[in-house]
Structure 1
């Protein structure tokens, strides 16, 4: 795929940079740094909103918790389709143009929340904002492919680490507003999210371009990604592994509070540990994942680590408070190692098995699988883990181990059995 003169330098986040303290934190000057800055601005706004959205809808808008849950779930289902459309549009009309359009729509739809006072308008706006949320990554991945040098998966790992850091910073700022617990404070966070969309769009205009859309794969009839059997197998496997992301944000906090003697502040402590590890180690975890074969091995490692972490989490129920805290810290550290390896493998699959001329379409399909896993995760956690207790943790641990172990042979078999 042809690149502009500025993007022909095959550089990545870990390549040689100008000397200085910031050299270790910033990608090479040029398109990589611009795209990283846009990601930082957008995900900081995301941190503001996701931390406070439930409180805004219940305390400011005045909706019951059940209606908020229904609205967000409905939006998530709609968003699965939007992810496919966003990738397809990016391939045909250019990823830079599409990304800027997605950010502009995001700012408009987010503003609409200021005028929502009843359930049905909330449902409508939730669906629109969820569509933007899903279209964002599938339309951004062609930019990552275009400007990521020889190893776009490694650059995406860098962006993922930055995403976690920015969301954490946004959550800290949101925490100050939540502490104030006033209408004005919650509205200011919503306005901040809107401005983050606008800021991201402005930063994206500095990218060289327009980024060319695909010319070969997109001219083929139908969805070429759906004819790539090894890619589809990897998509299904990744979607099955994806359910574990609900552990630190949904299952484990409730498990700690309701089933262990650990103090409540342990919930914040383990979330902080998870966030810091992901933000600081994601690039390192993906550095050696340079092929789909290596991605398969990391999926196996991920399955082993996730299994071990979940078994330890189950063991935290029963011991004394401080023993439970130590077990939970160890469990979170091991679990996060599995999360890092899974993310590294997922990024390599999504790029290494994709046709470069139709990266948006492939990303939309891949994220459809991930989105399905995310949608099922709360139910799986609620029924299996929180409903069954310790046996549920062990069953889920075993299933994740099996999925991780099956990844490499299943993808390889599909590639041999159904080549091309």
Structure 2
């Protein structure tokens, strides 16, 4: 039975997103008034700003600051390495000092560090600021996850999926707005996007202040727990499996566009078509994909399904390298649709693993460790895709397809085996 609105607010939770109240069609798309809606609004503001900057950042660094592309890549790589550590530290801080306080602090630092880009004109200051902003980027989810757990309501899996869908939609909207500024291609346009990202950090922090406070329990004492996540074998196994699967996220953003342009006869506009299809499917179907993933056993099943769909999608992408232009384009559209289904199932499974195998008293720490595995996969993905897909061609696609199938199939039994060893 769903909680009433007053009871939910007193308990610090709210009904799932599907239970929104109020007249009109749009009210049903929102969480009920209370902490869930506040956290969703904060997520929307922050990720819209992320869409603004991610879409235009490379152009800002090269056209406004004036750095060569190789130096930009080096600075961002350094930032990615720093970010891996920062995410774990922020998660531990959220457990010790409170997730709301930590998350607001991360947003404030994000606004300050983003402003620093306005004063960067040479390489080494760029590296420093890139490391600082990357640390904020990694600290954001690990300090936010305890809030998601705290206010997840009676259907936390559905709420997490809702936030993921909102994230993808907001980033896409930010990218659209950034596209207008990019078309102008002026210093003022790029600076306005950076200022917009800064304001999004500030806006998110202000929205988060509306969340109810929650004092730490005297029995929690997370500082005495140590690094419990590193002693949780099932969780570490799931972290490694998810880290390997994470490599596939470079397919639509890195490997597939280059494959389409350099290795197929499909029209170049096919790149935009498949990216829009991927974005639309993720934004529209994420809630549905995650609705029934409410246990680690269900997560194991979805990881298997994800492996099968990713395998089929990548095999189709490999097949697009030979046919004529229109046939190749149709194959690529079908391949993207199948791949995206696998992406949805993987996202649902990974969210359940990161919460379902974690201790409530140390959710931030667990999130930091889990995202360390994911971040490692993300960091390696461009190199893996570059070697296996862009250098090996079709055989590389097929090797990756089989890899994802095997990892997906191994997920459920591997986590179950680790659970038995831990309890034995």
Shorter chain as denominator, the TM-score bin is over 0.9
Residue 190 in 1 paired to residue 194 in 2? Answer: yes
* Residue number in structure 2 paired with 1:305: 309
Residue 248 in 1 paired to residue 287 in 2? Answer: no
CA RMSD of aligned residues (A): 1.5
Residue 365 in 1 paired to residue 369 in 2? Answer: yes
* Residue number in structure 1 paired with 2:179: 175
Output the CA distance in 2 between the equivalents of 1:99 and 1:196. 14
User: 8 Å contact 2:20–2:28 — kept in the other structure?
Assistant: no
* Residue number in structure 2 paired with 1:284: 288
* Residue number in structure 1 paired with 2:67: 63
User: 8 Å contact 1:236–1:369 — kept in the other structure?
Assistant: yes
Pairwise CA distance, 1:72: 0.5
How many aligned positions are there?
A: 418
After TM superposition, which residue ranges in structure 1, 4 or more long, deviate above 6 angstroms? none
* Residue number in structure 2 paired with 1:225: 229
Pairwise CA distance, 1:210: 3.9
Output the CA distance in 1 between the equivalents of 2:217 and 2:194. 33
Pick one of 373, 387, 391 that aligns with 1:387: 391
Correspondence list, 1:5-404, <5 A: 5-8=9-12, 11-15=15-19, 17-210=21-214, 212=216, 215-216=219-220, 218-404=222-408
Output the CA distance in 2 between the equivalents of 1:217 and 1:405. 38
Pairwise CA distance, 1:11: 1.8
Pairwise CA distance, 1:374: 0.2
Output the CA distance in 1 between the equivalents of 2:228 and 2:65. 44
List per-residue Cα deviations over 1:204-231 (Å, max 9, x = no partner). 0011114647843614342011111001
Output the CA distance in 2 between the equivalents of 1:10 and 1:30. 6
Output the CA distance in 2 between the equivalents of 1:383 and 1:9. 47
User: SS of 1:53's equivalent?
Assistant: helix
Q: 1:5 to 1:165 in 2, by over 3 A?
A: closer
TM-score by length of 1: 0.97
Q: 1:217 to 1:318 in 2, by over 3 A?
A: farther
**Is there any run of 5+ residues in structure 1 with no aligned partner, and where?**
none
Pairwise CA distance, 1:8: 5.0
List per-residue Cα deviations over 1:133-158 (Å, max 9, x = no partner). 00000000000001011332321111
User: 8 Å contact 2:8–2:15 — kept in the other structure?
Assistant: no
Output the CA distance in 1 between the equivalents of 2:238 and 2:170. 29
Pairwise CA distance, 1:318: 1.1
Output the CA distance in 2 between the equivalents of 1:361 and 1:130. 18
Q: 1:418 to 1:85 in 2, by over 3 A?
A: same
Pairwise CA distance, 1:13: 1.6
Q: 1:214 to 1:62 in 2, by over 3 A?
A: farther
TM-score by length of 2: 0.96
Output the CA distance in 2 between the equivalents of 1:329 and 1:141. 34
User: SS of 1:14's equivalent?
Assistant: helix
List per-residue Cα deviations over 1:339-397 (Å, max 9, x = no partner). 00000000100111100111000000000000000000000000111110000000000
Pairwise CA distance, 1:272: 0.5
Between 198-207 and 147-156, report the one with greater CA deviation.
Answer: 147-156
User: SS of 2:345's equivalent?
Assistant: helix
Output the CA distance in 2 between the equivalents of 1:247 and 1:125. 28
**Is there any run of 5+ residues in structure 2 with no aligned partner, and where?**
1-6
Output the CA distance in 1 between the equivalents of 2:218 and 2:46. 26
Output the CA distance in 2 between the equivalents of 1:184 and 1:9. 43
